[in-house]
Structure 1
Amino acid sequence: MKGLQKGDKKLINAWAFYDWANSVYSLVISTAVFPIYYETVTSGNDGIVHFFGTEFINSTLLSYSLSFSFLVVALLSPILSGIADYTGNKKRFMQFFCYLGSLSVMSLFFFKGQDTLWIGILGTILASVGFWGSIVFYNSYLPEIAFPEQHDRVSAKGFMYGYFGSVILLAFNLTMVMMPQWYGITDSSLPARISFLSVGIWWIGFAQVTFYYLPNNVFHKKPEKDYIFKGLIALKVVSKSIKKLTKLKQFLTAFFLYSIGVQTMILLAGIFFKKELGISTSKLIIIILLINVIAIFGAYLFSRISEKIGNIKTLKLTVAIWAFIWFTVYFLDAKSTYIDIQIYALGGMIGMVLGAIQSLSRSTYSKLLPETEDHATYFSFFDVTEKIAIVLGTFIFGFVASITNSIRNSIFILAIFFVLGYIALSFMSKNEDGKD
């Protein structure tokens, strides 16, 4: 599709629609249905599973698989982004990772138990690589489809679309999982496996809207031969450039610190609520839905706040709220009469700042970039920062829990990273036209 100019509403909506397409992976596969299904089908033999001749605890194997996928993306994305920027073929890379992720999710339909564990683990790794790999190129389109003054609202719109779409599909999937008789399903594993299939179809199907409208080779590049080598040279140039950009380095430092807390909490908070506070699976699902619905309004609200007081001050506000939430979670008493009310209230607060911190982080980074044609390469550093934060955060969570024999202590340590992130943001000089 040609003819849509930068800032065009149709182009912006098409870009944001990729969040609608892929966010079902984050909610259904990463957070809600798949972890519960995986635990159920691998819980025999006291949760001990065998994978390629090695014995693992089932939850440990899943954690290792995800960590491996994050490391793969962290290693590949800067190299591929450099090549994509040099060749001007960014959309093709985004499509490749989208198709890899969605087809891998669909393959989870064939994961039925320990006999097919290899399908579950391989599908999990490739789906994660596909999802996070496509996000690098998706994010890098932001400076090319919207003007700087639009970035906050456009970034928030993407997350709003994502939360809304994923809640719709999750609600449908949950009716199958919790009330299979409505659909005439008698196989207990089938509802979850159909859910995995639906996620892949939803993702690859709705992504076509984005791919139809997004331009390719915006800067009309005509690559010469040896584009891999020259793509690596482009990566080296961007790497040196980042070292000279003080505000960008300061932001990446702050982003790294608070992402350790945010991303780890997203992945592992459910374990804390279930094991430490005794929250039932049904209540956890309600909390997850609550968080995602409120996140729609949170992303919108904080994008407007940022227009009034600036991105850095708004980010500091969201990080401060995150710190308050998780220090509060640390002190929760499972025996309290009001524990359910407290959990739902905290879930609402998480939703309010979840979309906000994600959308503002993306738009703030975009605003801090220099004039460049290498957006994918620059955004690969943003992505790598987040992935390393995830790997470190999940390691800290498990390590602290193992040496102290308490998940609660892990929560406290990770909450400290929000404080450190707040301090790092405070060091950023005033910019954004005097707003910060």
Structure 2
Amino acid sequence: MRKNDPKIINAWCMYDWANSVHALVIVSSIFPVYFSATALKASGTAYTDFLGFQIKSSVLFSYTVSVSFLITALLIPLCTAVADYSGKKKRFMKFFCYLGALSCMLLFFFTKDTLVPSILLFGLSLIGWSGSIVFYDSYLPEIATEDKFDSYSARGFSLGYLGSVLLLIFNLSMILAPAFYGITDKALPARISFLTVGLWWILFAQIPFKYLPAHRAAKQKSGNWIFNGFAELRKVYFNLRQQPFLAKFLSAFFIYTMGLRTVMYVATIFGATELKLPSQSLIVTVLLIQIVGIIGSFTFAWLSGKIGNIFALMVGVAIWIGICTGAYYTTEAMEFYFIACGVGMVMGGIQSLSRSTYSKLIPENIPDTASYFSFYDVTEKLAIVIGTFIYGTVEYLTGSMRNSILALLVIFVFGLILLYRIPSKKAYRYQMQDSEN
């Protein structure tokens, strides 16, 4: 297959356009606000009855994210190994895409009387979203040359930001002016927004599903696919052990992702609970993050070309440390908006650069990129599990989300230290050539 084919690259980037609405509408803006309000209506207090347990709604939200990504982390390695072995990577990507999108659409029925099944649907949407991403990411080394990884990855994230902003503006218009659409039920616009996310996701996913390569030829079957899948994972594991540069990057990525992705999932809850910001202000804040994020993605791609990927990531993590420090002392809405701009600038940039950096570090001429990306994906998902669990537990024990922010600050400091320990790629390649000689 010819690499850097514009048609295939643009189709690949369109999956970011398709799925990013979940991260914005479901995870970061409308759903958290609607969830908090509905949980309050259902119980009349800050605590919610979930499967017989009385738990604070914000903690329940964090733990739902943790459990969902733990399930994904356990499930994805098997799926990616089987996908590589059978040559049906796109089929797995479709399955998780449709699982996530249909779960979002069913959230249309989320009311105070359907709280428990709606929480479960939210969890399934996270599993579907995160499951499809690993197969999506694994296409990058197959369709592009290494010198294009940063720019193509940034293009995908930017399209994701742009597409999700467009849908959010439409959904926000329904929430702020329901009479214009002939809506009298105040809760209906939010529920319609969940439906639109699923429809948008499925509709635009058809573009990459049509143009991305269907699959490689299946490997000759010699035994059970599942066991052969685990054998493939074992092979990748031993390959990783022989690549210290890649292992060090994954360690650093694991730590700073604990903080970064946790902020993504709890920022809206923090604004609603700690700062008591109105729903409209919170949603507009998330919209601001997305718009600034478009600039941030390309800024970090440009910065990596000037100072290298690792140093660019260090700059981003250092900014995150400043953001956490500012968030701890934030008491006013304007301060929260200023911090949101900082979050937008580094959030997409670091995610985009992390994906392209890992793509560069995968050994050349590796046919089974899905198995390699399963390690990347599991690392990310376990980081989210631990990060959101720490955040929720610190709040549960201390009663304050500000103390949870301090915990994230410490996490980012450790991530910066681990990045500092990674040598330049030129030094690493020289080391490897020297050892081979």
| TM range, smaller chain | over 0.9
How far apart in 1 are the matches of 2:415 and 2:51? 40
Instruction: Name the residue aligned to 2:398.
Output: 404
1:275 paired residue number: 273
Residue 349, structure 1, aligned to residue 357, structure 2? no
Distance (Å, rounded) in 1 between the aligned partners of 2:40 and 2:159: 35
Range that drifts further, 199-208 or 345-354: 345-354
Whether 2:351 is the aligned partner of 1:358: answer yes
**1:38 counterpart letter in structure 2:** F
1:203-260 superposed Cα distances (whole Å, 9 cap, x missing partner) = 0010000100000223664545522211111011111111221011100111111111
Report SS of the residue matched to 1:42.
helix
Match of 1:59 in 2: 58
Distance 1:404 1:59 in 2: 14
| 1:84 and 2:83 aligned | yes
Contact 1:110 1:119 in 2 (8 A): no
For 1:398 and 1:48, the matched residues in 2 are separated by 14
Partners of 1:206 and 1:152 in 2: CA distance: 23
* Matched residue, 2:418: 424
Contact kept, 8 Å, 2:63 with 2:388, in 1: the verdict is no
Counterpart-to-counterpart distance in 2, 1:408 and 1:111 = 30
Q: Among 210, 213, 218, which residue is 1:212 paired with?
A: 210
Quick check: 1:383 aligned with 2:381?
no
Change (3 A) 1:274 1:41: closer
Preserved contact between residue 65 and residue 388 of structure 2 (Cα < 8 Å):
no
Q: Which residue of 2 aligns with 1:108?
A: 107
1:147-186 deviations in whole A, cap 9, x for unaligned? 1000000111110010000000011001111211010011
2:434 corresponds in structure 1 to: none
Cα shift at 1:87: 1.2
Greater Cα offset, 239-248 or 21-30: 239-248
The 3-state SS of whatever aligns with 1:381 is helix
Deviation at 1:51, TM superposition (A): 4.1
What is the 5 A alignment of 1:29-44?
A: 29-44=26-41
The CA distance in 1 between the partners of 2:372 and 2:428, in whole Å, is: 25
Question: For the aligned residues, what is the CA RMSD?
Answer: 2.0
Cα offset, 1:47, TM superposition: 4.4
Corresponding position of 2:120: 122
Q: Report the CA distance shift for 1:157/1:85 in structure 2 as closer, same or farther (over 3 A).
A: same
Distance in 2 between residues matched to 1:112 and 1:312, nearest whole Å: 46
Q: 1:310, 1:432 within 8 Å by CA — same for their partners in 2?
A: no
Say how many residue pairs are matched: 427
Give the letter aligned to residue 243 of structure 1: R
Q: 1:302 to 1:428 in 2, by over 3 A?
A: same
Whether the aligned pair in 1 keeps the contact of 2:59 and 2:395 (CA below 8 Å) is: no
- Provide Cα deviations, 1:373-398, integer angstroms capped at 9, x if missing partner: 12111111111111111111112212
- Aligned partner (choices 244, 252, 255) of residue 253 of structure 2: 255
Check 1:344–1:60 CA distance in 2 against 1; reply closer, same or farther (3 A cut).
closer
In structure 2, the residue matched to 1:392 is: 386
1:10 aligned partner: 7
Runs of 5+ in structure 2 lacking a partner?
Answer: 431-437
Q: Report the CA distance between 1:264 and its aligned residue.
A: 1.1
- From 195, 208, 212, the equivalent of 1:197 is 195
Distance 1:247 1:138, change over 3 A: same
Q: Which runs of 5+ in 1 are unaligned?
A: none
Q: TM-score, normalised by structure 2?
A: 0.93
- Establish whether residue 243 from structure 1 lines up as the match of residue 241 from structure 2: yes
Question: Matched residues in 1 for 2:10 and 2:359: separation?
Answer: 18
Shift of 1:341: 3.5
CA distance in 2, matches of 1:285, 1:361: 27
Shift of 1:404: 3.2
* Contact in 2 for aligned 1:305/1:314 (Cα 8 Å): yes
Partner of 1:75: 74
**Per the alignment, in what secondary structure is the counterpart of residue 425 of structure 2?**
coil
- Kept after mapping to 2: 8 A contact 1:5/1:11: no
Q: Among residues 307, 310, 316, which one is paired with 1:309 in the alignment? A: 307
Alpha-carbon offset, residue 64 of structure 1 = 2.8
CA contact (8 A) 2:100 2:126 kept: yes
Query: Amino acid of the residue matched to residue 390 of structure 1?
Result: I
Separation in 1, partners of 2:314, 2:3: 30
Measured after TM superposition, the shift of residue 434 of structure 1 is: 8.8
Q: Which residue of 2 aligns with 1:370?
A: 363
Task: Find the residue that maps to 2:356 and give its secondary structure.
Answer: helix
* Letter aligned with residue 242 of structure 1: L
Structure 1 counterpart of 2:296, from 298, 310, 318: 298
Question: Secondary structure in 2 aligned to 1:6?
Answer: coil
Counterpart CA distance in 1 for 2:265 and 2:238 is 33
Going from structure 1 to structure 2, the CA distance change for 1:385 and 1:187 (only over 3 Å counts) comes to: same
TM-score under structure 1 length normalisation = 0.93
> Structure 1 pair 271/37, CA: closer, same or farther in 2 (3 Å)?
closer
CA contact (8 A) 1:108 1:119 kept: no
Shift in alpha-carbon separation, 1:327–1:227, aligned structure 2, 3 A? same
1:122-201 pair list within 5 angstroms: 122-201=120-199
SS of the equivalent of 1:279 reads: coil
Letter in 1 for 2:408: L
| Mapped contact 1:107–1:197 kept (Cα < 8 A) | yes
CA gap 1:15/1:250 in 2 versus in 1, 3 angstroms: same
| CA positional deviation for 1:288 | 0.8
1:105·1:127 contact (CA, 8 Å) conserved in 2?
Answer: yes
**Residue 433 of structure 2 corresponds to which residue in structure 1?**
none
